[in-house]
Amino acid sequence: MADKGTDPVQMWHSFLADMEKQVNSFSNQAMQSEEFSRVMGQMTGASAGAKKAFGDFMERYLAAMNLPSRSELIDLGERLHHIEGRLNDIMSLLQRVHTDVASADGTGGAPRPPRTKRPPSQAGGPP
Amino acid sequence: MTAAAQQKKPEPSIQDRIQQEVQRAIQRSVKGVEYFASAAPVVGTTAKDVLHSRGTMKLYHYRPLADEIYRVPILIVMATTNRGYVLDMVPGQSLIEFLLKRGFDIYMLDWTAPRPEERGLKFEDYVLDFIPDCVRRVQQDSGETDVSVIGYCFGGVLSLLYASTHADGPLKNLVCFTTPIDFRQMKLFQNFSDRRYFDVDRLVDSIGNVPPEMIFQSFEMLRPASRSIGQIQLWENMWNDEFVKSYRIFDRWAQDTLPLAGEYFRQTTKDLMWDNKLYERTMTVGGRRADISRIKVPILHAVAEHDHIVPYDAAKPLIATVGSDDKEEVILKGGHISLVAGPNAIKRLWPKLDSWLSERST
């Protein structure tokens, strides 16, 4: 009979669980050091700096190639965003008008359930 | 099987265990191929309508699943870092579906990735524009003046800021899931954003919106071994369809991290991580005081015992600080995600939420 103490599968699972806890705990301790904060701050700064320098280079390159840059596409996106916003407003307005008309002539969509539900403590029935 | 019968069940012999492991090894190989060949599981399938969409903001209304519903509608405010379908994974594992079947009228304010031109979004936009706009639309759609709000994680922070800047209504009840207040207690995030070394201005000015990989990595770093161990466990359980399905939906959600608007990230770092303004009660949004002691509505705060993202110490002062008479904190077993989704949530949080809200939604 394979009891839990000698079952190799169980032992493997226990080992994995312990290892996960220990590695997480050890790493968390290491991450609480000031040295870690300093290195992480430097890395984040360096990565952001590199990204910006690359972005600037690409912008000059695209301008030389007579292609739109990212910022120009963003401007275009912003204009589309505004158009989308106005379309949404029109949609909302149309929906409101449609709801008003439908409720006035009784042809509205599927009726919603009544808002009359009581909590089980007040309803008296089973929850 | 009864508990007595389970107790009597004999331990399998070594031969049986070997045979079982060989069978599982074969199944692993077969199903492993299926795993890589099959599409990701479909999530967020509860029927819903998009009520409004504007940039990063999306307001859904879920179609009722009960014949009679409670008077007060509920607006769920999702965390800005992740997708709302964590609350609507698959049928049977969906908090939304559960609440609908229990007779609640559910709306959700969910987020899409902010676009580059939305890098300037700030707390003011979320707290004084997006949430009030959604509340107004919920009122309009439901025909009710009162609205209850549920905020998950940072959605809880935004809900608290909304509630404290709109203390005169129309909020009826507030529920927060794992919501941090004392950001000094988020020790690892504090270290990641140490003001002596972390130049948030340089980061935001250089890259605009903070990319999702950076957000995802910072969450992953809190438990660096867990992903690798999780993959070993996935391989071991490849024979178990239920395990694989559950792993895939949660893994998909965890990796589906959203970028954060640059200015919003800058404010979060400076006002919350560095100056701890929410806890110190010095927070202002758009010139309006956002002191959570001004919140007087009934409030429930559900926190997880083993939350590695929002440690209990960071969430604990919420209930002590709000000004409500009707306030309750529940500490439940589980972690940051298992508190709201999965078998643990079905057993613990969901029934508690149902009973708390039902008494306050008429």
Residue B163 binned pLDDT confidence (cut-offs 50, 70, 90): very high
Greater model confidence, B322 or A39? B322
Q: What is the pLDDT of residue A116?
A: 94
Q: What is the pLDDT of residue B275?
A: 97
Mean pLDDT of the B157-162 span: 98
Residue A83 domain flag: yes
Same domain, A63 and A73: no
On the question of pLDDT at B56 being above 70, the answer is: yes
Note whether A126 contacts B: Cβ–Cβ < 8 A: no
Note whether B241 contacts A: Cβ–Cβ < 8 A: no
Beta strands B106-111 and B74-77 are parallel
B291 min Cα distance to partner chain A (Å): 30
Greater model confidence, A100 or B255? B255
Sole residue written with tokens 């030389």: A64
Q: What is the pLDDT of residue A124?
A: 63
Q: What is the pLDDT of residues B210-225, one digit of tens each?
A: 988 888 888 888 888 8
Residue A79 domain flag: yes
On the question of pLDDT at A5 being above 70, the answer is: no
B interface test, pick of A4, A18, A28, A29 with most B CB neighbours within 10 Å: A28
Q: How far apart, in Å, are the Cα atoms of B337 and each of A7, A16, B304, B341, B347?
A: 32, 21, 9, 6, 14
Mean pLDDT of the A55-82 span: 78
Residue A125 domain flag: no
B308 min Cα distance to partner chain A (Å): 11
Q: What is the pLDDT of residue B223?
A: 83
Q: Note every long-range contact of B17-24, with CB atoms under 8 Å and residues 24 or more positions apart, other chains counting.
A: B17/A2, B17/A7, B17/A9, B21/A9, B23/B239, B24/B239
Q: What is the pLDDT of residues B297-349, one digit of tens each?
A: 999 999 999 998 999 999 999 999 999 999 999 999 999 999 999 889 999 99
Q: What is the mean pLDDT of chain A?
A: 78
Note whether B225 contacts A: Cβ–Cβ < 8 A: yes
Topology of domain B48-358 in CATH is: Rossmann fold (3.40.50)
Residues 28-87 of A with CB under 8 A from B: 28, 31-34, 36-38, 40-42, 44-45, 48-49, 51-52, 70, 74-75, 77-78, 81, 85
B interface test, pick of A27, A44, A76, A82 with most B CB neighbours within 10 Å: A44
Same domain, A41 and A60: yes
Note whether A116 contacts B: Cβ–Cβ < 8 A: yes
Q: What is the pLDDT of residue A106?
A: 64
On the question of pLDDT at A78 being above 90, the answer is: no
Percentage of residues in chain B having pLDDT higher than 90: 64
Hey, are the CB atoms on B233 and A16 less than 8 Å from each other? Answer: yes
The DSSP-derived string for B167-185 is: TTSSEEEEEEES----GGG
Mean pLDDT of the A33-55 span: 80
Most confident of A58-62, A63-67, B21-25, B269-273: B269-273
Residue A118 domain flag: no
The DSSP-derived string for A60-125 is: HHHHHTT---HHHHHHHHHHHHHHHHHHHHHHHHHHHHHHHHHHHHT--SSPPPPS----HHHH-S
Q: What is the pLDDT of residue B9?
A: 63
Q: Are the C-beta atoms of B109 and B59 separated by less than 8 Å?
A: yes
Task: Return the domain boundaries, chain B.
Answer: 48-358
Q: Are the C-beta atoms of B173 and B208 separated by less than 8 Å?
A: no
A interface test, pick of B50, B117, B233, B266 with most A CB neighbours within 10 Å: B117
Q: Which residues of A touch B55 (CB under 8 A)?
A: 81, 85
Note whether A24 contacts B: Cβ–Cβ < 8 A: yes
Which residue in chain A has the smallest CA separation from B188?
Answer: A32
Note whether B113 contacts A: Cβ–Cβ < 8 A: no
Q: What is the pLDDT of residues B260-288, one digit of tens each?
A: 999 999 999 999 999 999 999 999 999 99
Min mean pLDDT across A85-89, B61-65, B144-148 is at A85-89
Q: What is the pLDDT of residue B273?
A: 96
Beta strands B57-62 and B48-54 are antiparallel
Q: What is the pLDDT of residue B1?
A: 45
Residue B137 binned pLDDT confidence (cut-offs 50, 70, 90): very high
On the question of pLDDT at A82 being above 80, the answer is: no
Q: Which of A7, A24, A88 sits opposite B226 (nearest CB)?
A: A24
Q: Dihedral sign, CA of B212, B217, B223, B225?
A: positive
Residue A10 domain flag: no
Cis peptide, bond prior to residue B180, ω within 30 of zero: no
Q: Which residues of A touch B222 (CB under 8 A)?
A: 28
B184 is written with which tokens? 């000094």
Hey, are the CB atoms on B222 and A28 less than 8 Å from each other? Answer: yes
Greater model confidence, B70 or A111? B70
Hey, are the CB atoms on B117 and A116 less than 8 Å from each other? Answer: no
Mean pLDDT of the B63-85 span: 96
For residue B294, how many other CB atoms are within 10 A of its CB? Answer: 16
On the question of pLDDT at A33 being above 80, the answer is: yes
Residue A100 domain flag: yes
Mean pLDDT of the B154-176 span: 96
Residue A49, domain extent: 37-67
Residue A112 domain flag: no
Same domain, A96 and A74: yes
Phi, psi (degrees; rounded to nearest 5) at A100: -60, -45
Residue B182 binned pLDDT confidence (cut-offs 50, 70, 90): very high
Q: What is the pLDDT of residue A127?
A: 47
Q: What domain count does chain A have?
A: 2
